[in-house]
Structure 1
């Protein structure tokens, strides 16, 4: 059975069916329904206030392509700065509102989401790190992200954490660290730092400002072994003629995030900065930075042959 590519939603299904046989796309494993899942808990985003998407938004984000951006990464880890690369991939796709996975088949009940896959790769001495975070925001409602997942792999082991937006935020965490281990728990709903990246691309005027409660990025929570909960932060936005900055300051965590994005649609993210104190005695305040190398729009799921390897060079990733 052919799969609907990630950028498709119901607005494009009829046109897509014409060339379906000629297009191959990313594949997903089938997910069984959980007996614990209820319609009320899994369709909470559908009861949130609606968001009206402009024709400009639809023309851009449903053009059959994903936005891929590579970045030069200077990543703080273990009190030193490491050179590496980061990649962000923004793309729309159909999402199952109950199972919280990509839809394999067309249905009017599917939810259109903007997905961000964010990847980082860098070395710490002899061994490498690979970090990936996926965030799924509903496009047509002002609900919180439907799902966030994060994995960190390095030679010591790997960790994985996933949040599902149901009646509460349901979190599953798996780790090789004794203090984290295997956990399943709920946390009250509040802003998610991870969802703000997608919100910049969808509707930056909806970004929270002032004193806010935020669950920090999953990458930060795992790397620094912090409790998964809401933390007090102060958020601010400063709009310039060409670049707008969005800043989150967590006083208690001694953490700051600044995202720099274009002031006009489609609000592409040009760079970001993070400052984290590893512990209470850390006065170095080393800065993690990611600065754009190259951006392109491509149907990358069709470019998985050896002949497409040159595109890695085009992104500056080799």
Structure 2
């Protein structure tokens, strides 16, 4: 019954969209990759970037750390998991740009630990949509998990939560536009592939978890801007912005390959009851290339110092 109610809710929200919603569907533009793409992303290392985080939660700003780990991986198109054998030359092997994005911050006495993983095909001319997105959130009240799997023209959404109204869910939502969570990987692949204008966007899973909102496609105004300087960099850089009715997300990135993400700002009403308009902000600390999966000894904590991250 809960699944039926949730499905009806999603359909009703979609039905309420303006009649020109299909005109706002995000166009998946094809952009040629830079000539040094393979040398950077297929060198057997991941790129790790640390950020100083100021996270809006419960009507206040909380300091913390964010990390983005970008790496290419062989991915099973049918099973939608990383292939054990990277030498698999079957049609099932799709090379993806994987992003593991983490946030850690304290709210009063208890900590938050959040993680989002996005799997976007490198050959987005052949596979224009992310294959999978997973997001988890842990804090002392409990933990939640959400997963999106691409299934032809739909995404299968499964959600598990300690909140009665949110879990457990297993529903289909239409692939009707851009996933906000794919923007980060699209910037790294080639930001010229990002759409502009009024488009339908599925809000980021971090936002959906923190604000407890239903997964549907509101429209947003997407724009790109070139600036000479900002608090994120003294060098010229670009900004990609999504303006929703009640929220705004701006991502700052370098204009040249490898299109490093310098930081982001996200503004919306925060708190419960009497809310306040607050801005989450993350600013880049440092970036390194590393085969981090082999850096698991105590001496390797020095790499965290290089990234400006806590070693405790």
Which among 145, 154, 158 is matched to residue 160 of structure 1?
Answer: 145
CA distance in 1, matches of 2:123, 2:193: 13
User: How far apart are residue 117 of structure 1 and its match?
Assistant: 0.5
The gaps in structure 2 that reach 5 residues or longer are 1-27, 229-235
Q: How many Å separate the matches in 2 of 1:201 and 1:240?
A: 19
The 5-angstrom pairing of residues 139-158 of structure 1 reads: 139-142=122-125, 143-158=128-143
Instruction: Give the conservation status (yes or no) of the 8 Å contact 2:54–2:61.
Output: yes
The answer as to whether partners of 1:238 and 1:245 remain within 8 angstroms in 2 is yes
Query: Paired residue for 2:50, among 62, 66, 70?
Result: 70
Distance 2:264 2:110 in 1: 25
| Structure 1 residue 58, shift from structure 2 partner | 1.1
Q: Find out whether 1:84 has 2:78 as its counterpart.
A: no
Alignment of 1:265-284 (within 5 A): 265-278=257-270, 284=276
**How far has the Cα of 1:315 moved from its partner?**
1.0
Deviations 1:26-60 (CA, angstroms, capped at 9, x unpaired) = xxxxxxxxxxxxxxxxxxxxxx9976544311111
Distance in structure 2 (CA, Å) of the matches to 1:288 and 1:60: 30
* Unmatched runs of 5 consecutive residues or more in structure 1: 1-47
Q: What is the SS of the residue equivalent to 1:118?
A: strand
Give distance in 1, aligned partners of 2:113 and 2:249: 20
Distance in 1 between the 2:189 and 2:53 partners? Answer: 25
Paired residues of 2:144 and 2:160 also in contact (CA < 8 A): yes
**Superposition pairs of residues 122-137 of structure 1, within 5 angstroms:** 122-137=105-120
Distance 2:221 2:247 in 1: 11
Q: Distance in 2 between matches of 1:60 and 1:98?
A: 27
Q: Is it true that 1:208 corresponds to 2:195 in the alignment?
A: yes
CA distance in 2, matches of 1:178, 1:67: 38
Distance of aligned partners of 1:280 and 1:249 in 2 relative to their CA distance in 1, 3 Å threshold: farther
Tell me if structure 2 keeps the 8 A contact 1:88–1:116: yes
Q: Secondary structure of 1:309's match?
A: helix
Aligned to 2:217: 230
Q: Report the alpha carbon displacement of residue 138 of structure 1 after superposing the two structures with TM.
A: 0.2
1:98 aligns with 2:91: no
1:305 and 2:286 aligned: no
Q: 2:104 matched to which residue of 1?
A: 121
8 Å CA contact retained: 1:53, 1:140: no
Distance in 1 between residues matched to 2:99 and 2:67, nearest whole Å: 10
Moved over 3 A (4+): 48-54, 278-283
For residue 317 of structure 1, give the secondary structure of its aligned residue in structure 2. Answer: coil
Match of 1:186 among 150, 168, 172: 172
User: In 2, Cα distance between the equivalents of 1:257 and 1:150?
Assistant: 18
CA contact (8 A) 2:270 2:276 kept: no
Give the secondary structure class of the aligned counterpart of 1:184: strand
SS of aligned partner of 1:194: helix
Residues 51 and 140, structure 1, Cα contact 8 Å, conserved in 2:
no
For 1:244, the equivalent position in structure 2 comes to 238
